[in-house]
Amino acid sequence: MIVGYVIGEASPQEALVLAEKPVRVGRYVVLEYDGVKVLGLITSVTRGSPLLDLTINDIKIVQKLKNLDTSIPQFVRADVKLLHEINSGMIPDLPPGPGTPVRFAEEDELRDIFSEGDIVIGSVIGMNIPVKIKVNSLSRHLAILAATGSGKSNTVAVLSQSIASIGGSVVIFDYHGEYYDSDIRPLNTIVPNLNPLHLQPREFATLLEIRPNATIQYRFLRNAFVNYVKEVKEKLKDGNVDYEELNTNFVKHIEDKIDEIASSEKQRQQKDAADEVKNKLEEFVDRFGGTINLTVPDITSRIKPASVNVVDISHMDEEAMDAVVSHYLRRLLDSRKEFRHRGTGLGFPVVAVIEESHVFISKNQDTLTKYYASKIAREGRKFGVSMVIVSQRPKGLDETILSQMTNKIILRMVEPTDKKYVLEASDNLTEDLVEQLSSLGIGEAIIIGNLVRLPAFVKISKFTGKLGGSDPDIKGEWSTFLNPNRIGEEFG
C-alpha cells in the first residue's frame, strides 16, 4: 500500500514524504530506489493546508473557507528515518530521489527482522508481529525508563518470567512489594537479611559510618571483626553454636573484642577511638537490627536458576534497603568472579533488576549501592552479571551508569528534562526518536540497543497474572470500609 512520495531533498539517513492521508508515528515503511529496498521508520507527522498557513491572521477568512461547499485542501508530511537495506542489512549509502514511492512494510519483511531473538517481549505497534529480544545482549545491561503509570512493572514482569522460562535466573530488588506476592512463575522469594559473617571488614565499617580517614577506628573494628568472624566460623564448622545466642549477643561479642584490643593501648586517643567504635556499633543495631541475621546463608546460595528471585525490601527504610542491595550486588559479582577463576561460587549467570534505581544510583548522592552498581556496569559483562535499572526519574540517575546501559526500553515519557537527559546519556538514541516518547500509549515502548537489530516501536505483552503496581481503587476501598455490615461488625 502506497503511503506517499518523497519530496524535497533527502539524505541517506532521512527523507521527507508527502503522504496521501494521515499516518501514525512509529510505522515502518519501505522505499525502493536505485536497485535497493530500504526500510524506514516514520518519526514525525505534520498536517497543514496551503490555504490556511501561518500568514493567515484574520479568523473571518477561515470561517468563510469553512462555509464553502468544497473541503479545504490539506497535506500530510512525514519525516522518515532510513534504517537499513532489507536485503543486505547494510546502512543506506544513497538517498532516495524525489518522487520515490513509499509504502507500508509488509508483515513478512518485518517478521524476518524482529524474529532474531530468544524471548518475545511484545509486538510491533499496530501489527500482529512478535518482537523477540536477544537475551545474550543483556550482558551489556538494560535501562527500563518511563513516566509513572506507563507500564514499567508490567515490562519487568514479562521480561523476568520470559528469561526464567528459558532457564535464566533473575533477581529483582522489589522496592514497592509488587512482585513478591505476584503470579510470576517460577517465583522464589528471598527475605532481605544481612549476615555479618559474609561482610568484608571495609563493607562493615561503611555500614557503621566509619570514615575512610578514621584509621584508628577502622583498625580497632577490623581486628575485632576479623577475629570474631574467624571464631564463629570455627564454631559453625564444629557444630557447636547456639544460634539464638549468636544473634542476640553479636554486638556485645565484638565490643568485648574491642575492649581486649584497647586494654593493651596506653594512649588516651586510642581508647577514645575504641569507645567511638562501640558507639557506632550500637547505632548500627538501631538502624539495621531488624535486618541482621547471622544464621541465614549467603545470598548466592539462596538464588535459584530458571527462576525469578524476588528480594522484598518494601518494608525497609531506604538506608537498610541500600545496605541490602549493595551487599547482594557485591556478593553476586564476587561469587561469579570466583566461579570464573576457580570453579567455585555461583555457577550460573544472573540478571539483577533494581527497581526505583534513582534512589540507589542517584547522580546527586553517593550510596553504597551506587559503588557496586558502577562496578557491575563496568565488569559484570565479563563474569555473567547483568544489570537492569528501572526508573521513572531518569534525570535523577547517575549519568555514567546510565550511559553504560547499552540497551534501553523506553516507555511513555513526557517530562522534557527527562527526555533530554536520556538522549545525552545514550549513544544509540537519536533526537527524532526521543521526540516521539510523549506520543506513546500505556504499555508502548521504543526498544534500542543490541537487544534488537533495529529500533523497535513495541506494544509490550500484557502480564496475565496478579501483579502490584496498579493505581489503588480509592473510591472502592472507601465504599468497602463504610459498608453497613462492616460498621455493624465494628461497633457490635
Q: What gap in Å lies between CA 86 and CA 113, rounded to an integer? A: 9
In a domain, 325, yes or no: yes
- Mean pLDDT along residues 330-335: 96
Average pLDDT over the chain, rounded to whole? 91
Rounded to an integer, the average pLDDT of 126-132 is 93
- Same domain? For 454 and 322 the reply is yes
Angle (deg, nearest 10), helices 250-262 and 215-238: 120
Are 181 and 69 in the same domain? no
Whether residues 335 and 453 share a domain: the answer is yes
| pLDDT of 469 above 60 | no
Q: Taking 60 as the threshold, does the pLDDT of residue 304 lie above it?
A: yes
Question: What pLDDT was estimated at residue 471?
Answer: 62
Give me the CATH number covering residue 50.
2.40.30
Do 94 and 145 share a structural domain? Answer: no
Check whether residue 16 and residue 158 sit in a common domain: no
Domain for residue 485, yes or no?
no
What's the gap between Cα 374 and its chain centre?
14
Domain-terminating residue out of 259, 289, 319? 289
- CA atoms of 52 and 54, how far apart (whole Å): 7
pLDDT of residue 220: 93
How many whole angstroms from its chain centre is CA 368? Answer: 18
| Residue 261 covered by a domain | yes
Whether pLDDT at 328 is above 50: yes
Cα–Cα distances in Å, from 68 out to 21, 49, 52, 53, 60? 22, 15, 14, 18, 13
pLDDT tens figures, 341-370: 999 999 999 999 999 999 999 999 989 999
- Please tell me the pTM assigned to this model: 0.88
CA 325/CA 381 separation, integer angstroms: 19
Q: Residue 433 — very low, low, confident or very high, per pLDDT cuts 50/70/90? A: confident
Q: Based on the domain organization, do 404 and 416 belong to the same domain?
A: yes
Residues 85 and 200 in one domain: no
Strand partners, 41: 28, 81
Pair (355, 244) in one structural domain = no
C-alpha span between 3 and 104 (Å, rounded)? 7
Q: Could you tell me if 380 and 453 lie in one domain?
A: yes
- 405 vs 247, higher pLDDT: 405
Residue with cell 528471585: 309
Q: Is the pLDDT of residue 391 over 80?
A: yes
**Does residue 52 form part of some domain?**
yes
Q: For residue 51, what pLDDT is reported?
A: 86
What is the reported pLDDT for 355? 96
As given in the structure block, the three cell numbers for residue 434 are 526521543
486 in any annotated domain: no
Peptide bond into 186 cis (omega under 30): yes
In this predicted model, what pLDDT tens digit does every residue of 53-82 receive, in sequence order? 888 888 888 888 888 767 888 899 999 999
Q: Supply the range of the domain harboring residue 384.
A: 119-192+297-475
Task: Name, of 238-242, 468-472, 483-487, the range with top average pLDDT.
Answer: 238-242
- Classify residue 358: in a domain, yes or no: yes
Cell numbers standing for residue 28: 515502518
Domain co-membership, 345 together with 275? no
Q: What is the mean pLDDT of residues 416-431?
A: 85
Q: Is pLDDT at 246 greater than 50 in this prediction?
A: yes
The CATH number of whichever domain residue 158 belongs to comes to: 3.40.50.300
pLDDT score of 335 = 97
Which whole number is the average pLDDT over 362-384? 95
Task: Please indicate, yes or no, whether residues 323 and 214 belong to a single structural domain of this protein.
Answer: no
pLDDT, residue 392, reads 93
- The pLDDT of residue 491 is 45
Give dist(CA 161, CA 186) in Å, integer. Answer: 8
483 domain-assigned? no
**Number of domains forming the structure of the chain:** 3
Q: Bigger pLDDT: 1 or 132? A: 132
The answer to whether residues 172 and 72 belong to one domain is no
Residue 242's pLDDT is 82
